[in-house]
Amino acid sequence: MENLIKKKNNFHLKHIVMALLVSCTYFDLIAQVPYKKIVTDSVTIYRINPRQHPIRLYWKDNYNQPIGTLKKLQDYVRFTGKTLKFAMNAGISDSGIYTSGLTPKGLYIEKGVKLKEINNETHHSDNKPVKNYFLGRKGIFYLTKEHKAYIIPSTGDLPYSSMFFATQSAPLLLMNNTIEPDILPLKKSKVPRNGIGIRADGTLILIISNTEKIGDKYKYPVSFFDFAVLFKTQKCVAALYLDGNISLSYDLSMNVADNHRRFGVILGIEE
Protein backbone atom coordinates (compact mmCIF):
# COMPACT_ATOMS: atom_id res chain seq x y z
CA MET A 1 0.00 0.00 0.00
CA GLU A 2 1.29 3.43 -0.93
CA ASN A 3 2.58 5.26 2.09
CA LEU A 4 0.95 8.70 2.30
CA ILE A 5 2.71 9.78 5.48
CA LYS A 6 6.19 11.27 5.41
CA LYS A 7 8.56 9.90 8.02
CA LYS A 8 9.71 12.49 10.53
CA ASN A 9 11.95 12.45 13.56
CA ASN A 10 9.26 13.52 16.00
CA PHE A 11 5.89 12.03 16.80
CA HIS A 12 3.09 14.38 15.59
CA LEU A 13 -0.51 13.67 16.45
CA LYS A 14 -1.75 15.10 13.17
CA HIS A 15 0.31 12.50 11.32
CA ILE A 16 -1.31 9.71 13.31
CA VAL A 17 -4.82 10.99 12.67
CA MET A 18 -4.05 11.32 8.97
CA ALA A 19 -2.68 7.80 8.99
CA LEU A 20 -5.79 6.43 10.63
CA LEU A 21 -8.00 8.14 8.08
CA VAL A 22 -5.92 7.69 4.95
CA SER A 23 -3.04 5.24 4.98
CA CYS A 24 -3.84 2.51 7.47
CA THR A 25 -3.29 -1.13 6.77
CA TYR A 26 -6.32 -3.13 7.96
CA PHE A 27 -6.24 -6.81 8.78
CA ASP A 28 -9.78 -8.15 8.59
CA LEU A 29 -11.26 -9.73 11.67
CA ILE A 30 -11.60 -13.35 10.64
CA ALA A 31 -12.20 -16.46 12.70
CA GLN A 32 -8.55 -17.23 13.48
CA VAL A 33 -7.53 -13.60 14.14
CA PRO A 34 -8.99 -12.25 17.40
CA TYR A 35 -8.24 -8.60 16.69
CA LYS A 36 -8.51 -5.89 14.09
CA LYS A 37 -5.08 -4.44 13.51
CA ILE A 38 -4.29 -0.96 12.23
CA VAL A 39 -0.69 -0.19 11.30
CA THR A 40 0.80 3.25 10.61
CA ASP A 41 4.39 4.47 10.53
CA SER A 42 4.00 5.72 14.11
CA VAL A 43 1.70 3.32 15.94
CA THR A 44 0.02 -0.05 15.86
CA ILE A 45 -3.56 -0.26 17.13
CA TYR A 46 -5.42 -3.43 18.06
CA ARG A 47 -9.20 -3.56 18.48
CA ILE A 48 -10.44 -6.54 20.47
CA ASN A 49 -13.85 -7.69 21.66
CA PRO A 50 -13.06 -9.49 24.95
CA ARG A 51 -16.46 -11.16 25.03
CA GLN A 52 -15.74 -12.90 21.73
CA HIS A 53 -12.02 -13.45 22.34
CA PRO A 54 -11.34 -13.66 26.09
CA ILE A 55 -8.24 -11.85 27.32
CA ARG A 56 -6.26 -12.95 30.34
CA LEU A 57 -3.21 -11.81 32.29
CA TYR A 58 -0.02 -13.75 33.00
CA TRP A 59 2.78 -13.31 35.50
CA LYS A 60 4.29 -16.59 36.69
CA ASP A 61 4.59 -20.09 35.28
CA ASN A 62 3.80 -23.44 36.92
CA TYR A 63 7.12 -23.28 38.79
CA ASN A 64 6.22 -19.93 40.39
CA GLN A 65 8.79 -18.11 38.25
CA PRO A 66 8.01 -14.98 36.20
CA ILE A 67 7.33 -15.89 32.59
CA GLY A 68 9.18 -12.74 31.62
CA THR A 69 9.28 -12.68 27.82
CA LEU A 70 6.72 -12.97 25.06
CA LYS A 71 8.57 -15.97 23.62
CA LYS A 72 8.42 -17.81 26.95
CA LEU A 73 4.73 -17.00 27.15
CA GLN A 74 4.26 -18.39 23.65
CA ASP A 75 5.99 -21.62 24.72
CA TYR A 76 4.06 -21.72 28.00
CA VAL A 77 0.71 -21.46 26.21
CA ARG A 78 1.76 -24.03 23.59
CA PHE A 79 2.60 -26.47 26.40
CA THR A 80 -1.04 -26.28 27.52
CA GLY A 81 -2.20 -27.30 24.04
CA LYS A 82 -3.31 -23.81 22.98
CA THR A 83 -1.97 -21.11 20.66
CA LEU A 84 -0.94 -17.65 21.76
CA LYS A 85 -2.67 -15.30 19.30
CA PHE A 86 -1.91 -11.94 20.85
CA ALA A 87 0.27 -10.58 23.64
CA MET A 88 1.47 -7.25 25.02
CA ASN A 89 3.17 -6.11 28.21
CA ALA A 90 0.51 -4.95 30.65
CA GLY A 91 1.77 -2.79 33.46
CA ILE A 92 4.81 -1.33 35.17
CA SER A 93 6.95 -3.76 37.14
CA ASP A 94 10.11 -3.74 39.21
CA SER A 95 12.25 -5.29 36.50
CA GLY A 96 15.82 -4.73 37.49
CA ILE A 97 15.77 -0.97 38.12
CA TYR A 98 15.25 -1.18 41.86
CA THR A 99 14.89 -4.94 42.33
CA SER A 100 16.11 -8.07 40.53
CA GLY A 101 12.62 -9.52 40.05
CA LEU A 102 9.79 -9.04 37.59
CA THR A 103 7.20 -8.05 40.16
CA PRO A 104 4.06 -6.01 39.39
CA LYS A 105 4.41 -2.52 40.80
CA GLY A 106 0.81 -2.51 42.00
CA LEU A 107 -2.32 -4.64 42.24
CA TYR A 108 -2.27 -7.93 40.40
CA ILE A 109 -5.10 -10.47 40.39
CA GLU A 110 -5.07 -13.73 38.45
CA LYS A 111 -8.07 -16.05 38.23
CA GLY A 112 -9.68 -14.31 41.18
CA VAL A 113 -6.62 -14.60 43.44
CA LYS A 114 -4.90 -11.42 44.64
CA LEU A 115 -1.17 -12.01 44.16
CA LYS A 116 0.00 -8.43 44.68
CA GLU A 117 -1.61 -5.75 46.84
CA ILE A 118 -2.81 -2.35 45.67
CA ASN A 119 -0.09 0.33 45.55
CA ASN A 120 -1.36 3.89 45.79
CA GLU A 121 1.88 5.51 46.94
CA THR A 122 2.40 8.95 45.45
CA HIS A 123 6.21 8.84 45.55
CA HIS A 124 9.10 6.47 46.12
CA SER A 125 9.47 5.75 49.81
CA ASP A 126 13.26 5.56 49.37
CA ASN A 127 13.56 8.83 47.42
CA LYS A 128 14.34 7.13 44.12
CA PRO A 129 13.74 9.21 40.95
CA VAL A 130 10.08 9.74 40.11
CA LYS A 131 8.94 7.31 37.44
CA ASN A 132 5.71 7.09 35.46
CA TYR A 133 4.00 5.02 38.13
CA PHE A 134 4.04 8.07 40.40
CA LEU A 135 2.75 10.55 37.82
CA GLY A 136 -0.94 11.36 37.95
CA ARG A 137 -3.73 9.07 39.13
CA LYS A 138 -3.23 5.34 39.10
CA GLY A 139 -5.70 3.06 37.42
CA ILE A 140 -6.75 -0.57 37.24
CA PHE A 141 -7.58 -2.55 34.16
CA TYR A 142 -9.63 -5.58 35.08
CA LEU A 143 -11.70 -8.35 33.55
CA THR A 144 -14.60 -10.19 35.10
CA LYS A 145 -15.16 -13.92 34.90
CA GLU A 146 -17.75 -13.13 32.22
CA HIS A 147 -15.03 -11.41 30.11
CA LYS A 148 -16.27 -7.87 30.63
CA ALA A 149 -13.49 -5.28 30.74
CA TYR A 150 -13.20 -2.15 32.88
CA ILE A 151 -10.73 0.66 33.56
CA ILE A 152 -11.21 2.43 36.88
CA PRO A 153 -9.24 4.67 39.27
CA SER A 154 -7.36 2.69 41.90
CA THR A 155 -8.84 4.53 44.88
CA GLY A 156 -12.15 4.27 46.69
CA ASP A 157 -14.32 1.22 47.21
CA LEU A 158 -12.89 -1.20 44.66
CA PRO A 159 -14.95 -4.13 43.27
CA TYR A 160 -12.44 -6.83 44.19
CA SER A 161 -15.07 -9.57 44.12
CA SER A 162 -15.67 -8.88 40.41
CA MET A 163 -12.00 -8.89 39.43
CA PHE A 164 -10.99 -12.17 37.79
CA PHE A 165 -7.90 -10.64 36.24
CA ALA A 166 -6.53 -7.21 37.20
CA THR A 167 -3.40 -5.11 36.71
CA GLN A 168 -2.64 -1.69 38.18
CA SER A 169 -0.63 0.92 36.30
CA ALA A 170 -0.21 4.66 35.95
CA PRO A 171 -0.94 7.24 34.92
CA LEU A 172 -4.58 7.16 33.92
CA LEU A 173 -4.94 8.92 30.58
CA LEU A 174 -8.71 9.16 30.20
CA MET A 175 -11.67 8.75 32.53
CA ASN A 176 -15.30 9.44 31.64
CA ASN A 177 -14.21 10.51 28.15
CA THR A 178 -12.04 13.28 29.62
CA ILE A 179 -8.27 13.61 29.57
CA GLU A 180 -6.93 13.46 33.11
CA PRO A 181 -5.95 16.88 34.56
CA ASP A 182 -2.38 15.70 35.24
CA ILE A 183 -1.87 14.86 31.56
CA LEU A 184 -0.71 18.25 30.36
CA PRO A 185 0.04 19.22 26.75
CA LEU A 186 3.22 21.07 27.72
CA LYS A 187 4.92 18.08 29.31
CA LYS A 188 8.17 17.43 27.44
CA SER A 189 8.57 13.71 28.15
CA LYS A 190 8.40 11.91 24.80
CA VAL A 191 9.22 8.22 24.41
CA PRO A 192 7.56 5.18 22.83
CA ARG A 193 4.57 4.04 24.89
CA ASN A 194 1.84 1.44 25.09
CA GLY A 195 -1.56 1.56 26.72
CA ILE A 196 -5.07 0.19 26.83
CA GLY A 197 -8.40 1.92 26.34
CA ILE A 198 -12.03 0.91 26.39
CA ARG A 199 -15.01 2.12 24.39
CA ALA A 200 -18.51 2.53 25.74
CA ASP A 201 -19.54 -0.74 24.08
CA GLY A 202 -16.76 -2.67 25.83
CA THR A 203 -14.38 -2.90 22.86
CA LEU A 204 -10.74 -2.76 23.92
CA ILE A 205 -8.22 -0.56 22.14
CA LEU A 206 -4.54 -1.41 22.64
CA ILE A 207 -2.00 1.01 21.22
CA ILE A 208 1.75 0.66 20.98
CA SER A 209 3.98 3.27 19.38
CA ASN A 210 6.87 2.43 17.10
CA THR A 211 10.11 1.89 19.05
CA GLU A 212 12.37 2.30 15.99
CA LYS A 213 15.46 4.47 16.51
CA ILE A 214 17.57 6.72 14.34
CA GLY A 215 20.95 6.64 16.03
CA ASP A 216 20.27 7.01 19.75
CA LYS A 217 16.93 8.81 19.31
CA TYR A 218 13.49 7.31 18.93
CA LYS A 219 11.92 7.96 15.55
CA TYR A 220 8.35 8.38 16.83
CA PRO A 221 8.37 9.45 20.51
CA VAL A 222 5.02 10.48 21.99
CA SER A 223 3.95 12.60 24.94
CA PHE A 224 1.37 11.47 27.47
CA PHE A 225 -1.02 14.14 26.21
CA ASP A 226 -0.76 13.10 22.57
CA PHE A 227 -1.15 9.48 23.63
CA ALA A 228 -4.34 10.36 25.53
CA VAL A 229 -5.70 12.28 22.52
CA LEU A 230 -4.99 9.29 20.32
CA PHE A 231 -7.18 7.12 22.55
CA LYS A 232 -9.93 9.75 22.25
CA THR A 233 -9.69 9.58 18.45
CA GLN A 234 -10.35 5.85 18.85
CA LYS A 235 -13.57 6.66 20.75
CA CYS A 236 -12.30 5.43 24.11
CA VAL A 237 -14.06 6.63 27.26
CA ALA A 238 -11.23 5.46 29.54
CA ALA A 239 -7.56 4.69 28.95
CA LEU A 240 -4.58 3.61 31.02
CA TYR A 241 -0.86 3.92 30.31
CA LEU A 242 0.97 0.60 30.58
CA ASP A 243 4.68 1.21 29.94
CA GLY A 244 7.29 3.01 27.89
CA ASN A 245 10.21 2.21 25.62
CA ILE A 246 10.43 -1.47 26.57
CA SER A 247 6.89 -2.03 25.26
CA LEU A 248 6.27 -4.82 22.81
CA SER A 249 3.43 -6.72 21.20
CA TYR A 250 3.02 -10.10 19.51
CA ASP A 251 0.36 -11.15 17.02
CA LEU A 252 -0.24 -13.80 14.39
CA SER A 253 1.59 -11.86 11.68
CA MET A 254 4.84 -12.58 13.57
CA ASN A 255 6.42 -16.01 13.39
CA VAL A 256 8.18 -15.96 16.74
CA ALA A 257 7.64 -13.77 19.77
CA ASP A 258 10.48 -11.67 21.19
CA ASN A 259 12.69 -13.41 23.75
CA HIS A 260 14.79 -10.44 24.93
CA ARG A 261 12.65 -7.75 26.53
CA ARG A 262 11.49 -8.80 29.99
CA PHE A 263 8.18 -7.94 31.61
CA GLY A 264 6.24 -8.62 34.76
CA VAL A 265 2.58 -8.73 33.76
CA ILE A 266 1.66 -9.73 30.20
CA LEU A 267 -1.77 -9.54 28.58
CA GLY A 268 -2.66 -12.20 26.06
CA ILE A 269 -5.23 -14.15 24.08
CA GLU A 270 -4.90 -17.92 23.90
CA GLU A 271 -7.25 -20.10 21.89
Mean pLDDT value across residues 194-218? 94
Mean pLDDT value across residues 4-27? 45
What percentage of residues in the chain have a pLDDT greater than 90?
Answer: 67
In the sheet where 165-169 sits, what is the strand order? 113-116, 108-110, 165-169, 139-143, 149-153
Instruction: Express each pLDDT in 104-121 by its tens digit.
Output: 999 999 999 999 999 998
Instruction: Say what the pLDDT of residue 7 is.
Output: 44
Instruction: Express each pLDDT in 70-83 by its tens digit.
Output: 999 999 999 999 99
From 204, 207, 203, 190, select the one nearest 241 (Cα to Cα): 207
Question: Where exactly are the structural domains of the chain?
Answer: 13-270
Q: Which of 47-51, 127-131, 220-224 has the lowest mean pLDDT?
A: 127-131
On the question of pLDDT at 225 being above 50, the answer is yes
Instruction: Express each pLDDT in 129-181 by its tens digit.
Output: 446 777 789 999 999 999 999 999 999 999 999 999 999 999 999 999 999 99
Q: How far apart are CA 130 and CA 182, in angstroms?
A: 15
Mean pLDDT value across residues 67-71? 96
Instruction: Say what the pLDDT of residue 25 is.
Output: 43
More confident: 199 or 136: 199
* Beta pairing partners, 206: 46, 196
Mean model confidence pLDDT for the chain: 86
From 209, 228, 229, select the one nearest 219 (Cα to Cα): 209
From 72, 173, 80, select the one nearest 132 (Cα to Cα): 173
